[in-house]
Structure 1
């Protein structure tokens, strides 16, 4: 029986494994660490564990903590160098806080610092999956953050909302709870007259995306409603529910669960594990633009043939992830290419019978096989 309401988050049979994401502004206030608030959340985590639920924490706050210690302006986000330095200092304090408070309940905390590449590369993604599984089996609570001390502007998540969703995919979680500075998703900016919170969302549609605001009320975090909807898209690929709730209250999870205050994103389907990983990727190596006939064939479940490709963009190797776009520039699918970029460009528009003379060997059955492809309709429910 799937999760259908917020109270189901406290049911171990429906939600055996939870990921809880905590934003920077919840952990760090003007006076420093909000220790009493964190202690209350840790008590809730301990209660969930006693109910038989596994819990993974995705915790922001390292940059904010380190910036305060080092006296850096703009919360440590004035430059990449400042952010990296602040993270290196703050992460020690952050992990120590979680370890001490969880330890007070007899729970072992385990720190994991991840980069974008750890979850974008298939082998490293599976390593993360194995490590998370072993830690949970051993009774630990993994506390995860992006490795901001080495992440660059070009290769990073940039917000822990999407990181939490990717971690949930890797861990096979039941639900992700994003604790933020707002009660949930509103049908318009919450400051506008008549704004209404939406309790349940079935699939992230274009209409739902139009409701998002890039603003964060705190000004401290790096995400906004846009990043939270992107996280919901990533989660739904793996059939994982996602909740947006307000963490500014004491015992915030209880307020969400028993008070029913939050937005629950319910996925309508579930892609296979490999396709969920592929569809949730944030960085692709290239693009294949296709004609209308190929676009229609892809929607019917066909593989992508060279005949239907009109242009190739980017530098990529065989096996690299690429986006497949229609003639209007809209993303149709993500897939793993059977050829490198130069080979793809050489056989654009050619029938299979004409490809051997160009390639110098018998062509493969397709440029992107349907088994190595996830359609946009699976990535975002219309």
Structure 2
């Protein structure tokens, strides 16, 4: 029953918030003359996530999680009501403020769910992790389409009202889950002490620190695909918009099918082995793409090959993320989960724009060499991970 409630929460909360986020971005682009305001909006959203996640992580580990959920959702409901009544008078600036608030409150809910996931899922942790990945993939694919249709018929204030309804339902569902009420140790310590203890825990547990460092490295390197494939498909190979749309869809479909596969046949053992295989797969795909770009081929061959690249990446992503998430859920002490996951989230959010900026610059020339070197760097990450993980005496293959 708890797992069903969690799945319902993921569907309702993610679908409502992503539709509204799409609408906000659309309205900013439509009703401002330049891209400056949109850039400011995206930058502030990212900065809010980076700066507030570690703070939220401390509160998640030291305060009653139900009260945190209530506070976050009431803030969400309040800002959406303010948006409904004041948007006509304030305009785009209110969209930006609302986006910032919703980013913070969504981070609260996400970190609380991550911190309590093992207790909620109980013996079905592996299946629930895969199923949540499937839901996120579906919502990510469908929400922009639904948002595009709704914007044509209803105002953004109406969408804010619909989001208010989904967030209210999300609050009810969250309160039905067994969330942590208190942690005896952290209740007696200050905020700063709790914050330092989170970093201290990572320093002491070298294998968890290694896993997070490997995860961050892989995210940085694989982001080259997100930046590079559109450049290669449209600018280098000259594929048309329909062909590029099919290539993009192949990634989503592959992620969905792989996540669904692992929810039916969950990964329950040899987590490290699966992580290593997925990193090797990343390395082969990136290196193979680099080698492919050294040759002149027809548009049809290039089109089919890029579909294969995205399908392969779509398989490798959940194949890496699912055992990675399961290992962290099983290994991190409950008293530190909020802080550890929040630190991980903040660094990921910081590295994403940095990675896009880096590859956006270097991919303008010599794409084949860039991808080949990125594939080699990914293989180096695999080698480092294999050597260091074996060198820690306390590691046990799970």
TM-score (norm: length of structure 1) = 0.29
Q: Which has the higher strand share?
A: 1
Structure holding more helix per residue: 2
Q: TM-score, normalised by structure 2?
A: 0.28
